Structure 1
Amino acid sequence: MLTRPRTLQCSIDRDGRTGVGADPVSSPLRQEAILREVRRNGSVNVTRIAAELGVSVMTVRRDIAVLAHHGLVTRVYGGAILPRTKPAPRGSGTTVSGRSRTLVLGMVAPCRSAYYREVIGGVQVAAEGTGSRLMLGVSAYGDERPQVEDMLSAGVDGLLLTPRPDTLRSAEGAAWIRELPVPVVIVERRPEPAAGLDQLERVASDHARGTVQALRHLVELGHRRVGLLASATPTAVWISRGFDISRAIFTLAAGTPCVADHVAYDFAAVDAFIDALVATGTTAVVAHPDEQAALLVQRVRARGLAVPDDLAVIAYDDDLASLAEIPLTAVAPARYAVGRLAATRLVQRLREGSRHVVQESLLLPRLAVRASTSTRFLPGIDLSDPSTAL
């Protein structure tokens, strides 16, 4: 058990635990208790000492990170041990001998088909280029904290996180991210100001501007009545914002069907959406994701309508759009570039330490024009030609 620290700034019992009604143990006292435990036993377990001190495991990890930064302990899986050698300060990327130290980058991302595979691919290339190692965890849009805890226990130097959107809307939801003991870069998310994550780097696609690009293309083709059909995804929120911005910029007609919370593969809902398109005289649609756009085209053609003559369609994501029976014009987020830049920024943050300037980087998607909006893309034309990208 822990012995009582010599200098007390709050009410703690003889084992170092806070008593009922006592103030929480201050950071210096916690760190003193952790260091004493390591020196006495040669190691400390984060779960046990967190229970002893009456604080969260994350708080103890943060304290251990501070001690490791000053070379007083070495972080290991599940806790800390006595330092083997005196390390360089965290973020320097070198040892005391001057040799380069391999940084370990932890990444927790949703499991979402090709989209995040491309982001991860960009991270891998950046990690290899900087001599870093990537450790990957998948959240499947669930609670990311178990994967983050595992990575911290394994000793990652920094984290690339794609949290659930609701986590980034309030200070309460984002509290655990603010308490992380290592530098963090938020990937493909844009935290709300209320989340209090202003000091965290973030790299994301500018989906709102990507949508404006799509609407601009349709307007240039003469369309003024444009609809929106988007499945409920984190991306759909920004597509919807971009759609509203475009309506104002291009003075598009009101009253067209706009759905931003569609349930994927709901055929009845798609048919009802098409009914609304016909009833309102809508001549173009932005659909997200690609599968939704392809399904919409299939159902439209089944009614005897022609694409793009009767209805122009732009897909948002460009995972599979080029493979559709009628190749789909699509907005393509720069997924690979997002991953590469995010990893590069994290390594810069680790190496520069307090000198690093926090940045928010929004990468503009590109528009790949194909047959679903333009009749000039006839069979025989090479649709992969770079000149078709706007």
Structure 2
Amino acid sequence: MTENTANGEHRDYLPAERQDMILSLLTRQSVATVAELADLLHTTDITVRRDLTVLAKAGLLKRVRGGAMSVASSDTDSPDATASRGQDSTETSIAGGLISSSRPRLHPELGADQPAIGIMLPEPSFFWPRVIDCMRESAAKQGMRIVTRESSYDEGTREDEILDELAADPTVCGIIAAPNAHHKTGERTWDWIMNSSIPVVAMERSQPILAGHTVDSVRTNHHYGVRKAAVHFLEHGHTRIGAAFSETPTAAQIQEGWNLVLDGTDRIDCPFQFNGIPPYSTSGVNEVVDRIIESGATAMLIHSDYLAIAVAQQLERRGKHVPDDVSIISIDGFATPSSRPLTVLRSPAKELADSAICAILNRIQFPEFATRQVFVDPVLVDRGSVAQI
């Protein structure tokens, strides 16, 4: 770096002076890019990288792709240590991770050279746009931006190519991804993730059982959510409860949770369980409704929203009303508010987004730490579709 002298000439800053200014900047903001620092110090990218390497080896900052990130005080050697700090702490533990709290933030209008988190999530639905918005807000608070790429629920989607594109961006320091649920397509995506040199957090997906290693993940705790639904039914006097599930990327976890509930208690009599019912299949929906009427089930646990709506509509065509004749809890909770008031189990978008950002920042800062599997409990929203009997 150079500065103007009294006679207008320039002098180069010494390495120690440059490094001190880098550390000073990182006390005011949590991240800085090589390009940003080179511009600030009026020097080359190579010189900045050399300075960052020196400071990183001294433990004074954390190197990330394309820049550097500030670290906790020297007496902290893990994210969990922040839990015991007092009010003067510069960081706070959120969802098991580090989120800067009292450090000044970068300007919210982040430039294209600002450190970024790559996001690969499926095509827009009721759920994902809200999650992405929350991720953007959470990342911006850390002086980072997000770069989003849309994948697909369709089989054959080349998600590895999407991930290659994200990884090729020199500002991307880590990636959050929801791999495709189709076996062959997802297998290719998981292979990419497992061999990635860039930190990756998996979102809302179960990892391969026999993978060589695991990566950090953030998922809705559907097992616990199903328990919430069961308790809600029981509190309203329902014990004869049927179940019907569409085929979705999370359906297997929901089914597994329901079966664990049934195995763990004799208070619930489940006369039938349908799996893989398309919500727009007239014959499939009619079959579900036939079994409800024949079995005398007083309540239904249904996934997804579309299937719950279709079943409720078909029940009414048969002279059965929700909740007077049949109570329903839907697992999704994003389509029902604008269609009919069904009590729902909803994955909390903000909590999932914040947890995912925390997880990727932790992995960037502490690459040697054991992986973490974070589960976020769904919220039960009571809209009155479960009647008291």
What is the TM-score when the length of structure 1 is the normalising length?
0.68
The answer to whether the aligner puts 1:92 opposite 2:63 as a matched pair is yes
The answer to whether the aligner puts 1:183 opposite 2:199 as a matched pair is yes
Distance 1:243 1:168, change over 3 A: farther
2:143 to 131, 134, 142: 131
**Partner amino acid, structure 1, of 2:146:** L
Match of 2:237 in 1: 222
Whole-angstrom distance in 2 between the partners of 1:119 and 1:97: 24
Whole-angstrom distance in 2 between the partners of 1:95 and 1:140: 31
Matches within 5 A, 1:11-160: 84-87=46-49, 88=52, 91-92=62-63, 102-141=114-153, 142-155=157-170, 156-160=172-176
The answer to whether the aligner puts 1:248 opposite 2:263 as a matched pair is yes
2:181 to 142, 155, 165: 165
What do residues 167-223 of structure 1 show as CA deviations (whole Å, max 9, x unaligned)? 69998873322111111111111214312332x111110112111111111122121
What is the TM-score when the length of structure 2 is the normalising length?
0.68
Match of 1:361 in 2: 374
Whole-angstrom distance in 2 between the partners of 1:309 and 1:331: 20
2:385 to 362, 372, 380: 372
Identical columns (%): 23
2:359 to 334, 338, 345: 345
Distance 1:197 1:264, change over 3 A: farther
Distance 1:254 1:143, change over 3 A: farther
What do residues 333-358 of structure 1 show as CA deviations (whole Å, max 9, x unaligned)? 1222111211122122223343x442
**Partner amino acid, structure 2, of 1:130:** Q
Structure 2 residue ranges without an equivalent (≥5):
1-43, 57-61, 72-105, 107-112
Match of 1:383 in 2: none
Match of 2:338 in 1: 323
Indicate the SS of the match to 1:262. Answer: coil
8 Å CA contact 1:162, 1:189 repeated in 2: yes
8 Å CA contact 1:110, 1:138 repeated in 2: yes
What do residues 297-334 of structure 1 show as CA deviations (whole Å, max 9, x unaligned)? 11101111121121100111110223333x10000112
Whole-angstrom distance in 2 between the partners of 1:251 and 1:219: 12
Distance 1:96 1:109, change over 3 A: closer
The answer to whether the aligner puts 1:274 opposite 2:289 as a matched pair is yes
Matches within 5 A, 1:233-312: 233-252=248-267, 256-312=271-327
Distance 1:256 1:315, change over 3 A: same
What do residues 215-269 of structure 1 show as CA deviations (whole Å, max 9, x unaligned)? 1111221212111122100111111011101112332555622112011211221
Worse-matched range after superposition: 248-257 or 330-339: 248-257
Whole-angstrom distance in 2 between the partners of 1:336 and 1:172: 29
Deviation at 1:271, TM superposition (A): 1.0
**Partner amino acid, structure 1, of 2:296:** G
Structure 1 residue ranges without an equivalent (≥5):
1-81, 377-390
Distance 1:370 1:95, change over 3 A: closer
Whole-angstrom distance in 2 between the partners of 1:229 and 1:268: 14
**Partner amino acid, structure 2, of 1:189:** R
Worse-matched range after superposition: 263-272 or 128-137: 263-272
What do residues 17-59 of structure 1 show as CA deviations (whole Å, max 9, x unaligned)? xxxxxxxxxxxxxxxxxxxxxxxxxxxxxxxxxxxxxxxxxxx
